[in-house]
Homo-oligomer: A and B are copies of this chain.
Amino acid sequence: MQIYETMKQQAEALAPHMQEDRRDFHRYAESGWCEIRTSSLIAQRLAGLGYEVLTGRDVCRDEARMGLPLKAVLEDQYQRALEQGAVQPWAEQARDGFTGVIGILRCGEGPVIAMRFDIDALGVVEETSELHRPARAGFGSVNRGMMHACGHDGHAAIGLAVAEILMKLRRELKGTVKLIFQPAEEGVRGARAIVAHGHLDDVDYLLASHMGDSQGQPYQVGLSAGETLATSKLDVTFRGCAAHAGMIPEQGRNALLAAATAVLNLHAIPRSSEGETRINVGTLHAGSGRNVICDQAVMELEVRGANTEANRYMEDYARRIVEAAAAMHGCTCDIKLMGAAESMKSDEEMLQLCSRVCRDKLGLLPAPLSSLAGGSEDCSYLMNRVRETGGKGLYFSTLTPCSGPFHSRTFDFDETALTAAVQVFCGMAFCLMGIE
């Protein structure tokens, strides 16, 4: 029991550092596949602590990465990162979208435990008014259009604190710990490439967490038996032919008519009795001028399903609609898979164990087991891979008061919750290693 106490105190002692880390990541928010500065700082820290560190092409398998920005954007971001303090040689390794870091600590016989911390920001313009704490306290994002509006800045900070504590206590540990700092979780683009590299093949237990809004409740840890949604993210481009809309409208091929038809019909895909489904055409950008028949329309859409089958039903139907809508107006179309996740749920025993650890070992208050699920998680690839090889997984929420909804420009969270998350990660690791 001694080790749990020691660890709890260390976690508390690290609270100011975590806040500092979190705010630094927040200030220099980097979106998916562009986490160059972030990755370089994490790698440097892990190396400094004594971890075996994997970076660059050793983290994500090249061709399994989804939804990569254009090369020119990646290069711009690399330069920007250097200006903002990215450290070498790590930054260079993260160039061209090879972000993400894995730190490994081997402590003899025992289970292999992987912990996932995602590190990317979102494409959101952050609020700059004084009402928004990051603005007021001077840690608002300096990268316009990139914002940690989903708490991954906190996740990264948690990961670094966990790394520090586990290293300090390494002599007591029995087994191997892999700390996976995952890139490009937003848009569910990065996890598949980590799995493809084989990093999960020898893992016995996977632990992952996400910030969650405590909504006025006193609970510190959220646990759910529900399943997250499988999802596919598609980018669609309709290409038609421009023509003067007043003079020769019949000579155009109207990509916007195709797109509008697709939008309505996509949302009208029949519900399925096989499980919950979702569809959203999130963005549509079409046309070059008011008096020109629209010759190009680009849309970003996503489908989801309670399970892989329901998601496949949606994706197949969506592809058929898009192709028919294009054909209807003499247009062509191009459909690109930009991201994907499977459905995922925590193992029953892991949920029970976590609940017990929180209460008995850590003095934390877990919420009653819920069956809610909600969104989609890139983590599904990691967890499902671990399961395939006989391992088990746990996904828990780090509950904390939040300002503004997730993904909104006013999102912020109470940083005191970071400590509890560190304690759960470490406590679970001890338990799974059989340390009392």
Task: Please give the residue numbers on chain A whose beta carbons come within 8 Å of chain B beta carbons, in ascending order.
Answer: 122-124, 187, 229, 231, 233, 242, 244-250, 252, 254, 256-257, 259-261, 263-265, 267-268, 270-274, 276-294, 297, 300-302, 304, 313, 320-321, 323-325, 327-330, 338, 374-376, 405-408
Contact = CB atoms under 8 A, between A and B. Distances in A.
Contacts of A276: 271, 276
B249 A278 contact: yes
Contact of A264 (B265, B313, B376): B265
Nearest to A376: B246
A74 B374 CA distance: 47
B260 A374 contact: no
Contacts of A122: 289
Contact of A375 (B244, B288, B300): B244
A280 B273 contact: no
Contacts of A261: 260-261, 264-265
B268 A293 contact: no
B274 A283 contact: no
B244 A405 contact: yes
A232 to B, nearest CB: 11
A231 B244 CA distance: 14
A298 to B, nearest CB: 10
A287 B263 CA distance: 13
A287 B281 contact: yes
A274 B247 contact: no
Given A246-B375, A265-B328, A270 B285 contact: no
Given A254-B270, A271-B250, A277-B271, A292 B286 contact: no
A272 to B, nearest CB: 4
Given A246-B231, A290-B300, A324-B327, A264 B270 contact: no
Contacts of A405: 244
Nearest to A408: B242
Which 8 pairs between the two chains have the least Cβ-Cβ distance? A267-B268, A283-B287, A245-B280, A324-B328, A260-B263, A282-B290, A250-B272, A260-B260
Contacts of A246: 229, 231, 278, 280, 302, 304, 374-376
A250 B313 contact: yes
B250 A257 contact: no
A281 to B, nearest CB: 6
A374 B286 contact: no
B265 A250 contact: no
Nearest to A252: B270
A288 B287 CA distance: 17
A289 B283 CA distance: 6
12 contacts: A245-B282, A249-B273, A250-B270, A250-B271, A250-B273, A254-B267, A256-B284, A259-B284, A282-B287, A282-B294, A284-B287, A291-B407
B320 A407 contact: no
A200 B285 CA distance: 41
A268 B273 contact: no
Interface centre among A123, A242, A280, A406 (most CB of B within 10 A): A280
Contact of A256 (B254, B281, B289, B323): B281
A121 to B, nearest CB: 13
Given A246-B374, A257-B264, A261-B261, 19 more contacts: A245-B278, A246-B302, A246-B304, A249-B270, A250-B270, A250-B272, A250-B273, A257-B265, A264-B268, A267-B267, A276-B276, A280-B292, A282-B287, A282-B290, A283-B294, A285-B285, A291-B375, A291-B407, A320-B330
